[in-house]
Every structure is written in structure tokens, then in C-alpha cells.
Structure 1
């Protein structure tokens, strides 16, 4: 009887406390830069989604992948920020059990979709630089559609068992208070009063089978690209080829460095304060949607020109 008094059988709601140790007035102030990041990310990605479909010269695989990335970034940040700001500003900490699981599934699914799109962009650059004559015949509109559907199905199918394992295997919970600002997989699993090894093991399997697999292939692609670029006979050709990859490399580094840094500090940084873990987790999900459109807007001449046209109030000559 004492066991059941200390646990909750399939709780109807969870409580999100936000950032542990900063629950009071500090969270209110933290919400301001987070809200600014969200607004800027929405504006930047929506501008990309307006520019790329409307400009015929941008109907190329590289830019279409960028549009997919923009859609994913908008969806990912929208899954997190509204509820997070509700916790920070209005103390709306309750979240229904099933809604929490849905948020968890959506967040991790969009993370995996973004990783798949970054892999597709790396392969696209590899073919464009190493085998340019076949690029147009390989990256057809049909293949782009298949890639979009494929990375989405891969993410959704591999993340779904995490949801099912929590729903079906974990029946008793020591507490309903989640020490996080959103419904993260391990933050939920650690609440359980039962054996959680299967859930932890599957979470690690998904992380390394998707993110680890994608990182390896992306690194191999860029290694091959650099080898091909340095063997080009003309210096101008080498610089042009390298410049087309700079934005991709920066986006790749900021996504995966933040991802693995957050992942390892969350699991192995036992002496790091909890609020540091949570802030890193939040930034890992919010910084890429903010930086991606800025990086591509600055480094890509075609997009930069269209942005200037969009914000210019001058009539065309």
C-alpha cells in the first residue's frame, strides 16, 4: 500500500517547472530573449519560404532543401516556445499527459528530420562539386520529394516507440513534476518508479542511429568535397566551390555541436547545475532556427538579393 501512496498511476497531467533553480522572477526575464529568438526565427524562415517558391532561379535542390529546413525550424520552435513562455510568464505549468507525450514526439521527430535534411544537403553539395554533369539528372524533383518523405517517415517511425514505451511500460511515477521547460524524453522517463533501462537504451539507440549515422555520412561527404576542391586546377574554381559549402558547414557545425554538447552534458555532466543542462537543451533547439536563415541570407548571393528587393520600398526602374 505504501508503494501506491508514493506513486501516481498514469497521471492525467504533468507539471513543467521551467528551469530548475530559476523558477521565480529570473525565468520571467529569461523569457524575453527566448521570445525575441522565436520571433526573429519565424520572420527569417518565413522570408525564405516566401522568396524560394516565388523566384524561379531558386528552384534548385540546394534552395528547396533550405525551404524544407525552414519549414522544419518553424515547426520545431513552435512546438516549444508557446508553452515555454506560458510557463515562464504566466505560470501555466500544467500539461496533460498525452499532450506532453505528443510534444515530446514532435520535438524529437523534427530534430531527426532536420538532421536528415542536413545530410541530404551535404550529399547534394557532394554531387554538385564532385560530379556536376550528373547533378541535374540525379537530383530530380521526384528524388527531392522522396527524400522529404523519407526523412520524415524515418524520424516519425523511429521516435514513435519512445512514446509507446512510456505509454505502455511505465505505469507508476514517483512524481509528476518535470524538471524541464518542455517534455523531453529522458526528463519524462526519469520520473518513473519502475525499471527505465529499456526506455533509456532505446533513446540512446535512436540518438546514435539517426544523429550518429547522419554525422558520419556528412563528414565523409565534406571530406570528399574538400579533396575534390583542392584538386581543381584553377584557383577561382576552388574558391567558388568552397564558398558554396561555407554556409552548409556552419549550419552543420552549429546544429551537431550544440546537439552532442547538450546530449553528453545532460547524461554525463553530473556536477553541472541543472539549470545549465536545461538552458543548453533550450538553446540547442532554439539557436538553429534563428541562425539558419541568417547564415544562408548572408552567405548566399541569390537569397541576399531577393531579401533586399523584398525590403526595399523603391519601385523597379
Structure 2
């Protein structure tokens, strides 16, 4: 309860401050003439008499939005909150590693996910491991959120915080750092799920119908909602604006929509390797598609309409035949989850 109360107070402060910060961040994100700015450690401003933890003192970053044309990768971004033994356990390597992309301030969203589709014990007989991947908050709230996140992580042990500013344009870097963690600490995971925090996920359907634990190994497997024959938007007014300097071809290779896609562990390791040889772009799902193209791999179609990229009204039987629905808020997730968990013998068989 103490953690929830603190998160609510901090949420009110963040709401006020982010309004002003948003103007600055958006201005930087669309002004491609702005020179890039590295993330440099700050000199500590604490007085000698104050006690500061070593990680906090070492990784006080000058957090400014990097230029979208100049994302630095590979780059030694540190893991500030880490659980290197997360995948070690008596049941062996995880069948599914969930990498959930989340913002530092979204304490309540993470708690809703833990209580619903992020529960690691939802699928009997299958080892699932969950990590929330997050970056750094704006400098104004670094100290307040640092303490809150450490408290949350002590309680749940599932935060993977990376030393880069948590912005939309850094999402590709967050995903790549999640894969770096997998490569270093969980290389034997059978499958890796990259998923956003604003979704409804049906882990049972995903595991049993899409991934099929008793099926043969699939080293080149990746699936989700597959986009084909799409191309970059050249109008700066769009959120997904991509200038020719960033990506010159008129078409993207096939790729899986960013809200959620799953790939075999062996392919994830190969994607990470080839990512270090390509120019990184901030459209994370497209960039993974570029890595797949370089590897000569095409996405595998999932059962029809099981990955939904747009909002859907909840319906018990229909949702049991889906893997993922995008744009699902935490409050709605908590509201429908008890009904979704209820066994309904009147639903038609899949």
C-alpha cells in the first residue's frame, strides 16, 4: 500500500511536469537539424555529508533526447537494475522469456500486468520468465523515481533498468538491450516475447496454439501481426516520420507489429548480432524487420487474426481465441480479467 500511495503522488507530479517537457521533447524529435547529444555521467551535486548509493552516484545521467538519426548502438549502456539469475531455477531454462517494455513511472501498469497476463504461473507445465524493461526518467524526477523503483524491485524482483533515457525514440535501444540481457543471462530461452505494456495478452493461447511446446524446434521462427508492402512516411507531421537520410528505400521489408511479437531464442541471438552491423532506426519493429531481411528470414504467419493491432471490445469467448489485443489500458485489464479466467463450457472449441 505504501508503494501504491507513493506512486500515486509521484504520478500527479509527473503529469504536471510532463506537459511542459513534452513540448521540448517533441520539438527535438522532429527537428532533424538539432545536433545529437550523448548521455554523459553528471558530476554529483550531493554534499559530502549526504549518503548516495554507488549506482545512483555513478549513473546520474545528463538525460536529453538523442537525435533520431544518431542512435548509438552498439554502446555500453549499463543495467542499473538487474537480475542476472532470473532465468536460473530448478525447472530449467524458460520456455518463454517475456520482455515487457514499460516506462519508469508506470508503477500501477506493471502491477496490473503482474496480476493478469504477466503472471508467470498462468500456463501449467511451462516455464515463463517475465522482466519489465525500462530506461531513465527525465532529470527532474530521477531521485524520486530511483527510490520508488528500488522499492518496487525489492518487492517483485522483475525490473531491468537500462542507462538510457526512456523515450519513444529510444525504444529500439530498449529492445536491443533486452536482447543483450537475454544473450548474457538467459541464452537458453526457447522463445522471447517482446511486448508493450498497453496490451491484452492471452499467454495460454500464445503458448499452446502459437508456440506449441511439444512441437519441433523452429530456429527461424518469428510471428505476430505481419506488415507487408508498407513504406516510410515522409511527412514530418506524422509520428512515424522517416526522412530519406534515415531510410532511403520506398518499402520496408516484412515485419511484425511492435505491440507484441515472439521469436525463437536462437533467432533472437542472431537478430542481436546482425543489429550491431546495421544503422539503427527508431522504429523498433521496422528495425527488427531489417535485421530479418539481412538474415534472410521472413516472419511466419500466426493463426489468422490472433494478433490484433487495434482496440477490440472485450468478449469472453472471442478473446480466448486471440493472442494479443493492442491499446488495452490497465484499468480495463483488471476489470475483465476475472471474467476472462472463468471457464466457459459454452464457448465453441478452437
The TM-score with structure 2 as length reference comes to: 0.24
* Higher normalized helix content (fraction of residues): 1
RCO higher in structure (CA 8 A, sep ≥6): 1
* Higher normalized strand content (fraction of residues): 2
Q: Which protein shows a greater Rg?
A: 1
The TM-score with structure 1 as length reference comes to: 0.26
